[in-house]
Structure 1
Amino acid sequence: MTRVAFQLQVRPELLDEYVARHSPVRPEMLAEIAAAGRRDYSLFLGAGGTLFGYYATDDDRAAQAYLAASPVAARWEAEMSRFFVGLDGRPDQAATSLTEVFHLEDQLAAASATDSSATTDTEGRAS
């Protein structure tokens, strides 16, 4: 699984309308996002219109290609593009990706694996 986070800047004068357009998102667009293989998708709005998004997927390239070819997504993105500052192209394809620096479950799993290997002897017995 791949976790993807991104950042966009919403035009401050359009913040209320942007939020309203997501309350709720059209059912056909929700279905396309799911069909593309994106799940656990969230958007977070920060001060001044800074928007952070997150989703998980098994194959982000395939998800992007699916949405790029989708007429439903193309219509939605064309309507939504006016909300963003300094964006060339469709928001779903042109957002700035963020680098993951911490994930709790990954670090817990790594710590558990380290603890498990430290408590066994060379013959695989617990010490």
Structure 2
Amino acid sequence: MQRVCFLLKVRQERLEEYRERHAAVWPEMLAALSAAGWHNYSLFLREDGLLVGYLETEDFAAAQAAMAATDVNTRWQADMAGFFEALDGAEPDEAMKPLTEVFHLDRPQ
């Protein structure tokens, strides 16, 4: 199982709306994420807009590709794009660059 962590930056003036949107994620989006192999997916938001995402999946590239192929993801990403800083023309899900894991307590040494 791959453990994936990524960072994005939510615009300061849209933090509250971002929280509200994620308190009511579309049911079809939740179903698509599960079907695409996204497990234990969490988002953490700091008051300055730093967003930390974490998920577990068998194959992150395959899980991303499976989501990219869905209509609901296309609509969700277009709807959410305005919330983020520095996407450089990419959709939010395309800007998710996994961080390198350097320590995991339960990993065999």
Identify the TM-score tier after normalising by the shorter chain.
over 0.9
- Which residue does 1:83 correspond to in 2? 83
**By percentage of residues, which structure has more helix?**
1
Task: Provide TM-score, normalisation by structure 1.
Answer: 0.81
1:61 and 2:58 correspond: no
Give CA-to-partner distance per residue, 1:45-75, whole Å, 9 cap, x none. Answer: 0131000000000011111111111101110
State the one-letter code of the partner of 2:28: E
1:119 corresponds in structure 2 to none
5+ unaligned residues in a row in structure 2: which ranges? none
Task: Give the 4+ runs in structure 1 shifted more than 6 A.
Answer: none
Residue of structure 2 in register with 1:105 after alignment: 106
Unaligned runs of 5+ in 1: 111-127
Q: Matches of 1:89 and 1:35 in 2, distance apart?
A: 24
> How far is the alpha carbon of 1:94 from its aligned partner?
1.4
Deviations 1:68-99 (A, max 9, x none): 11101110010000000010311112123211
Q: Which has the larger radius of gyration?
A: 1
- Report which structure shows greater RCO (CA 8 Å, sep ≥6): 2
User: Which residue of structure 2 aligns with residue 114 of structure 1?
Assistant: none
Given the two structures, how large is their TM-score scaled by the length of structure 2?
0.94
Matched residue SS, 1:43: strand
State the alpha-carbon separation in 1 of the partners of residues 18 and 69 from structure 2: 24
Amino acid of the residue matched to residue 19 of structure 1? R
Secondary structure of residue in 2 paired with 1:47: coil
Aligned: 1:21 with 2:21: yes
1:42 alignment partner, SS class:
strand
For residues 89 and 76 of structure 1, what CA distance do their matches in structure 2 show? 14
Q: How far apart in 2 are the matches of 1:39 and 1:63?
A: 10
CA distance in 1, matches of 2:14, 2:36: 28
In the alignment of these two chains, the number of paired residues is: 108
- Residue in 2 that maps onto 1:45: 45
Instruction: Provide the alpha-carbon RMSD of the alignment.
Output: 1.0
